[in-house]
Chain A
Amino acid sequence: MDAASLVSPVLRGPFTGRARREVAFCVLTLPFGVFIPLAGFFATADAGLLLGSGPPWVADGNPSGLAVAAAVGVAALLTVLLVTTGAARRLTAACRRLAGWLLGERVAAPAPLPGRRLAARLGDGPGWRALAYLLLKLPVMLLELYAVAVFWGAGLANLTYPFWWQSFRNHPPGAHLSAVPVITPFDWLGQGHFTVATFPGTFAAFAAGAGMLLAAPWVTRAVVAADRRLIRGLLSPGSSARRLADLERTRALAVDDAAARLRRLERDLHDGAQIRLATLAMNLGMAKKKLGGSGAVPDADAARELVDAALQGARDALGELRELARGIHPPVLDNGLPDALASLAASSAIPAQMACRLPDRAAPAIEAIAYFCAAELLANAAKHSAASTIKIDLSERAGRLMLTVADDGRGGADPARGSGLAGLAQRAAVIDGSLTITSPPGGPTRVTIEIPLHA
């Protein structure tokens, strides 16, 4: 990597749309971090006032036990109210939308607020997580404020020093002028604060401002990243809700897949065996006509030719039906997956070796899925890879079946290009499986399917 390619993103950093959007996010979500402290402050203050002793923190000496108890009680009541009224959810929904709009952090909304009953609402997981977000937003918000106010705000201000210096500092010589402070990001450490008193000094302020602005987008990105994590973790549907959504999605895939397979089967029958048999029947009908009703055959040559055609048609139809039946369920699969894969490997267009370390048999449905995945991968390799050998590896790891098909071909397999790999990934996802592809351009290609042994 050369120097230019490192420097240019740094120089362009402050001017990117992403930087602008992240700053906007920090500014717009600032009130959400302020909300809980403010609510807590007023609630405890009110509790103190109610008891006639003033807020606990202004009371003389140690606050009375009663005042503390009242403050804690009010805070607890406030917490419960925030959750049960759905206020926490509504506040964070705004955050979630802003994150989606400005940060591209698209998080699904949790399931709607449960029922009207208090018990149901008290057990509202997403509501409590929303509250947790509002609490944790406070420190994150302070960091965001720091990034925006100091790095962007003060950085910009520092840049301006040389421009206004001459107009305001044109007092006659000898006038005593105090130095002007320059804000730096390190002020809060008690260091780095410096002042300028002369025009050339303003260039130091300018340099500091420029440095702060160059750093600003990266600092903002870092603090916003923390906010993103919070949003992903706390404002998304809970893990069981996500699981439910996953299951719904994969079930839809399974239903579509089954329907598509039946449609394909009907189509194959219609365009294959069925029309062949209709043609065969037609040929036999014509042959019968040529053979005549009885006695001498009027047109023996034509009849013979038609019977030949019918015979050929019958063979073709049988062949097609056999292929079709095998496509539905290969009989060798009843012997177990290793045998079925071995027979698949034996008939592969590219020489295939097979290694099997599978101690137990998987469920029949799993075996069938693994078999058809392997068949599809072998067909893919034969079509696209230009490989000279293929290795099929079947093993078990932690109750999951691992099927790897690797070739030494030219690689570049990409599920996005519709090579059937996306379909395989979907089929695996239906049974909580996964598909891993490594296929750099130039090869080799290695596809691993991991599925549970028992669905």
Chain B
Amino acid sequence: MRIVIAEDAALFRAGLARLLEDEGHQVCAAVADAAALLAAADEHHPDVVIADIRMPPAYTDEGLRAAIELRQAHPGTAVLILSQYIETVYAARLLSASPSGVGYLLKDRVADVDEFTGAVTRVAAGGTALDPEVVRHLLAASRHAGGLDTLTARERDVLALMAEGRSNAGIAATLVLTLGTAEKHVASIFAKLRLPASETDNRRVLAVLRYLQSL
């Protein structure tokens, strides 16, 4: 995959580039701020952009804004946000702007190389990758809106893994279920959250969004 990195801490940026190259990806550019990120994306048309949220000049959320802008300008480029903090509002903004091909992970997750490259691949393929931390926040938050309180404990676990961006097979493997059981749980979640099957919407993402909006 062709990747562009935007990260203002030089050491972390260099390490990340090396990690991705060791895993056989091509790092087209590694830049330090949001403006350079947008320029590099225009130039290289990468498959994935990996960006920090807090970058110069204002050190607030320029990475996130650049990511949202980028998804609109280049629908073929997936975006994975890496940050030292997980803010659920940022997750909500990212997902509502673009419900697929996006991810939001803590920087800590990079330490598990396989997990991390898995998330990069998933996002590049149009999936989502939400940090377990985001999911934990969401589950701890209000469970009373939009039918969330009707979910069983098991369905909650499944929804948590869905939120992280896992496929049914991935959920089955993680929870040690058969694929059929996992699919049944997923279908039950869709039913309880009243998400009808449709050609145009990704129901998995809508289910996660329902969580985010219930905050």
Q: Which A residue's beta carbon lies closest to that of B19?
A: A286
Asked if A271 contacts B19 (CB within 8 A), the reply is no
A186 to B107 CA separation, bound complex (whole angstroms): 89
Asked if B22 contacts A267 (CB within 8 A), the reply is no
Chain A residues whose C-beta falls within 8 Å of the C-beta of B153 in the assembled complex = none
Is A79 among interface residues, defined by CB-CB distance under 8 A? no
Stretch at the interface among B8-16, B27-35, B182-190, B205-213: B8-16
**In terms of DSSP, what is the predominant structure of the interface of chain B?**
helix
Chain A residues whose C-beta falls within 8 Å of the C-beta of B9 in the assembled complex = 271, 275, 279
A302 to B22 CA separation, bound complex (whole angstroms): 10
Which residues 1-57 of B sit at the A interface, judged by CB distance below 8 A? 9, 11-12, 15-16, 18-19, 22, 54
Chain A residues whose C-beta falls within 8 Å of the C-beta of B15 in the assembled complex = 279, 282-283, 286, 309
Q: Which B residue's beta carbon lies closest to that of A269?
A: B84
Which residues 285-299 of A sit at the B interface, judged by CB distance below 8 A? 285-286, 288-289
Which of A267, A278, A302 has most chain B Cβ within 10 Å? A278
Chain B residues whose C-beta falls within 8 Å of the C-beta of A283 in the assembled complex = 15
Which residues 85-142 of B sit at the A interface, judged by CB distance below 8 A? 107-108, 110-114, 116
B-contact bits for A161-178, CB 8 A (1 contact / 0 none): 000000000000000000
- Partner of A285 from B11, B12, B59, B110 at Cβ < 8 Å: B110
A284 to B15 CA separation, bound complex (whole angstroms): 11
Is A326 among interface residues, defined by CB-CB distance under 8 A? no
Is A426 among interface residues, defined by CB-CB distance under 8 A? no
Asked if A275 contacts B84 (CB within 8 A), the reply is yes
**In terms of DSSP, what is the predominant structure of the interface of chain A?**
helix
Distance in Å: Cβ of B9 to nearest Cβ of chain A = 4
Chain A residues whose C-beta falls within 8 Å of the C-beta of B18 in the assembled complex = 286
A276 to B54 CA separation, bound complex (whole angstroms): 16
Q: Which B residue's beta carbon lies closest to that of A286?
A: B19
Decide yes or no: A274 and B19 within 8 Å by CB, A279-B12, A285-B110, A285-B113 being known contacts: no
Asked if B59 contacts A281 (CB within 8 A), the reply is no
Chain A residues whose C-beta falls within 8 Å of the C-beta of B111 in the assembled complex = 278, 281-282, 284-285
Chain B residues whose C-beta falls within 8 Å of the C-beta of A281 in the assembled complex = 108, 110-111
Decide yes or no: A282 and B19 within 8 Å by CB, A270-B54, A276-B11, A289-B113 being known contacts: yes
Asked if B84 contacts A278 (CB within 8 A), the reply is yes
Is A313 among interface residues, defined by CB-CB distance under 8 A? yes
Chain B residues whose C-beta falls within 8 Å of the C-beta of A275 in the assembled complex = 9, 11-12, 84, 107
A285 to B11 CA separation, bound complex (whole angstroms): 15
Q: Which A residue's beta carbon lies closest to that of B106?
A: A278
Q: Which A residue's beta carbon lies closest to that of B107?
A: A278
Asked if A267 contacts B59 (CB within 8 A), the reply is yes
Q: Which residues of B contact A (CB under 8 A)?
A: 9, 11-12, 15-16, 18-19, 22, 54, 59, 84, 107-108, 110-114, 116
24 A-B Cβ contacts within 8 A?
A270-B54, A270-B84, A271-B9, A274-B84, A275-B11, A275-B107, A276-B11, A278-B12, A278-B107, A278-B108, A278-B110, A278-B111, A279-B15, A281-B108, A281-B111, A282-B12, A282-B19, A282-B111, A283-B15, A285-B19, A286-B18, A288-B113, A289-B113, A313-B11
Can you add 12 more A-B contacts, CB < 8 Å, to A278-B110, A281-B111?
Answer: A270-B84, A271-B9, A275-B9, A279-B9, A279-B11, A281-B108, A282-B111, A284-B111, A285-B19, A286-B18, A286-B113, A309-B15
